[in-house]
Amino acid sequence: MRILITLSLFLMAVIANADSSPVQRLEGFISRAKNLQAEFTQTSLDEQGKAIQTSQGDFYLQQPGKFRWNYNQPYAQAIVSKEGKVWFYDADLEQLIIKKIDQSIGDTPALLLSGSVDLNEKYTIVKDREDGGVLWLKLTPKSTDSSFKYILVGLKGTMLYGMELSDNFGQLTQIIFSNVTMPKTLAPELFEFVVPAGTDIFEG
């Protein structure tokens, strides 16, 4: 009986996904991702497709509008967002840059998932491809002031798999997530940035 129940639930999920448009699947994921944590590998490529740098770290998201990227390798960096501001910290440079979230940085990948952006208002969304069980959606900014040409979001089943960003300088950034979970809560201090002693602070 347990096997039949499990199979039935699986088939229901498959049917639900089949009946959902690609955009509805993305919107459905974002509506469920109230709290999210994952590990990530980020690769930056030049115009020729050559890898410039690969970074690894941890990602935390809490709707609405809170996120944190902890870069652990090869350099210790952090990007934290809360209450309309973003903190960019570089441990090696002992430097912190604080910016308000405005149109110039309002299309960052984490903000895209934060539940604080009207996707249909800001982007033209189409299915790009389906490859290896991953559905890739292409989001093209409607604003000509965007810092990105496009953003790809990859969903594997009902979970986030990866993102790809093409900027206006010809650089491509690919992010693959692993160990993605949606916990009931996340520690509030994850989204508080404590400035280390000796850090140079620039705010604009």
Q: Report pLDDT digits (tens) over 156-174.
A: 988 999 999 998 888 899 9
Share of the chain above pLDDT 70, in %: 85
Give the pLDDT of residue 167.
84
Tell me the mean pLDDT in the region 93-118: 74
Q: What DSSP assignment string belongs to 129-192?
A: EEETTEEEEEEEESSTT-SEEEEEEEEETTEEEEEEEEETTS-EEEEEEEEEE--S---GGGG-
- pLDDT 10s digits, 30-64: 888 899 999 999 999 887 788 889 999 999 999 88
In the chain, the N- to C-terminal Cα span, in Å, equals 61
DSSP conformation class of 34: S
The pLDDT, as a whole number, for residue 11 is: 30
Q: Of 44-53, 93-102, 113-122, which range is least confident?
A: 113-122
Q: How much is the pTM?
A: 0.82
Topology classification of domain 22-203: outer membrane lipoprotein receptor (LolB), chain A (2.50.20)
Domain boundaries, the chain: 22-203
